[in-house]
Amino acid sequence: MLSGSVTDLLGQNLYLKIQNESKEDTLVLDSIGYKKKHADFNSLSLEIDTLKYKISNLGYIDAKWESLKKINDSVYESNLTLAKPYKSVDIYYDLEKLPPGTLKQLKVHSSKLYFTVPFREIEQTLQFINKKVSDQGLPFTTLKLVNIKKTDHHTLKAELTVSNIEQKRSVDKIVVKGYEKFPKSYLSYFLKLKTGRTLNLSEIKEQTSLLQEIPFASQIKDPEILFSKDSTILYVYIEKVKSNTFDGFLGFGTNEETSKLELTGYLNLELTNNLNSGESLSIAYRSDESDQKSFNVNVNLPYLFNTPIGTELELNIFKKDSSFTTADQSARINYQLNPKNQFSVGIKSTKSNNLLSSENLNPFIKDYETSFYTVGYRFSNRSKEQSIFKRNAAIQLETGIGNREIASNKDQQYQYSLNAFKIFNLNFKNSIYVRTNSFGLFSDSYLENELSRFGGINSIRGFEENSLNANFYGLLATEYRYSLSSNLYVHSIIDIAYFENKIIDQKEKLYSFGFGFGLNTKAGLLRFNYANGKSENQSFKLSNSKIHLSLSALF
């Protein structure tokens, strides 16, 4: 029997009742709310303390509480009288002890002796000021309101004291944990973390979060700071991630002349940060349906000699059957303004050779050489929220002016190129992908072997790779994407393009419609595209459909 009675007692709930006399007090108490049912007396007492704190923060510092009374075995009661609330506090301050710019966001009196804060915002305001002081290299400084007095029935006044003021702290040493060979130039110029700077905790967290913009590294956890009497050491936790990529695709299509299935291919190898300096090497080879072959090599060396200046070298060789070969060489000097924005200046030269025999001479294919001076801009924004889409926006724009020389004749030319894309995330599963490509060459005359070539999986889908020639083109590629899982998505294909070829006086619009999917496998991202392309004067034919397969492997 005794055992059963104890069990019943332990399982009994306690109830809290707060009584008040006025309707106004009841409305205030109802707006705050409190827990009435409790498992034990400690929980009930804690609820009373919490309620007193909330009421005090609303300005009811003169509120009167009667002692907690036990009504019966399960009910406890207390009477509450709120009185009138204080609405604001005039806080007097010493300007020399506050960081510059702090008062700009506060309501300072015209006398400049005090600032006024709504009572409900006192704690938030003190936290704001304390953060400003801490960001000035004084992390151990504390703030306190003293000499609190009543001014009238609605206002208090107090003095703001700043204590534990010591000599400003600066970062004396930066230690990288996890990836000890992380490029030091990226610490200085990409993350902008340098020794000797005033310690600013908020700024350090913001800067280290930029590690997500680096493809070969990621942040393991938030940075930590070790304080000693004479030094301040910043610890940054980084891990090296896989950043080398191998990209390739196979394309299938029917040759309209032979009615046979033809195969195209593309291989791209990109090696990134294998020397732990942030460098990249890209090698690409393409073989197209029209007996066209291209080879491209790109070397990017950022932050040369531990400066924000980098260089980029590129070589591109193109061969069209037995008609001509073209070799482009370019060199750029890059300036990394910040992690997302980069500017460049450079030079570009082209040499093209006519391979046609004297019997098959084409008047629009000739030997020529060009030299251009270029300026460029790049923007890139990476996203790690989804495992498939590593970047959600990018822009690459370059324009140049130069001369083309045929024999001893020179013509001035202008050109530009634009590549950009953006992913608009509607919600967790639905997104819209928009990509635009454009190229323009402006000259008094044109050669066939200097025109830009486009078409295929990386431009307008549903057409043969590099089968379209133009001195000017612009295209818009769109996809509506639906994520079936974190590793699989399906999408629509709607592409539109317009191009001009002044050699044959051609101006035409192109359209492409289809569907596809992307699957993130252990080997990499597998993409499948089925698209049917047509010009504005053509009708859709099933035989014009193209299937594109690509695999991007990360290692």
- One-character DSSP codes across 45-83: HHHHHHHHHHHHHTT-TT-EEPPPEE-SSSEEEEEEE--
pLDDT at 230: 85
Q: Which of 491, 406, 492, 411 is nearest to 449 (CA)?
A: 406
Reduced to 3 states (helix: H, G, I; strand: E, B; else coil), residue 109 is coil
Return the sign of the alpha-carbon dihedral for residues 59, 65, 71, 75: positive
Provide CB contacts within 8 A for 536, sequence distance 6+. Answer: 508, 509, 510, 511
Among 289, 243, 241, which residue's Cα sits nearest to residue 264?
289
Could you list the pLDDT tens digit for every one of the 555 residues in the chain? 333 333 344 457 899 998 887 888 888 888 888 898 998 889 999 999 999 888 988 888 888 888 888 888 889 998 888 888 899 999 998 888 887 777 777 888 878 889 999 998 888 888 888 888 888 888 888 888 999 998 888 899 999 998 877 778 899 999 999 999 999 999 999 999 999 988 998 899 999 989 988 989 999 999 999 998 889 999 999 999 988 998 876 666 666 666 666 666 778 899 999 999 999 999 998 887 667 888 999 999 999 988 999 999 999 999 988 899 999 999 999 999 989 999 999 999 999 999 887 766 788 999 999 999 999 999 999 876 656 788 899 999 999 999 999 988 899 999 999 999 999 999 989 999 999 999 999 999 999 999 999 988 888 999 888 889 999 999 999 999 999 998 899 999 999 999 999 999 999 999 999 999 999 888 888 889 999 999 988 888 887 888 888 888 888
Bridge partners for 29 per DSSP: none
CB 454 within 8 A of CB 436: no
Cβ atoms 247, 268 nearer than 8 A:
yes
**Sign, Cα dihedral of 207, 209, 214, 219:** positive
Q: For 13-81, which CATH class?
A: alpha beta
Residue 56 has φ and ψ, to the nearest 5°, of: -65, -40
Which pLDDT belongs to residue 299? 97
Query: So what's the pLDDT on residue 8?
Result: 40
Q: For residue 435, give both structure tokens.
A: 């990509």
Q: Model-level pTM?
A: 0.79
Query: Which of helix, strand or coil describes residue 126?
Result: helix
The fold for domain 88-163 equals Ubiquitin-like (UB roll) (3.10.20)
Structure tokens given for 137: 């290299």
Domain 247-263+290-554 in CATH 3.40.190.10? The answer is no
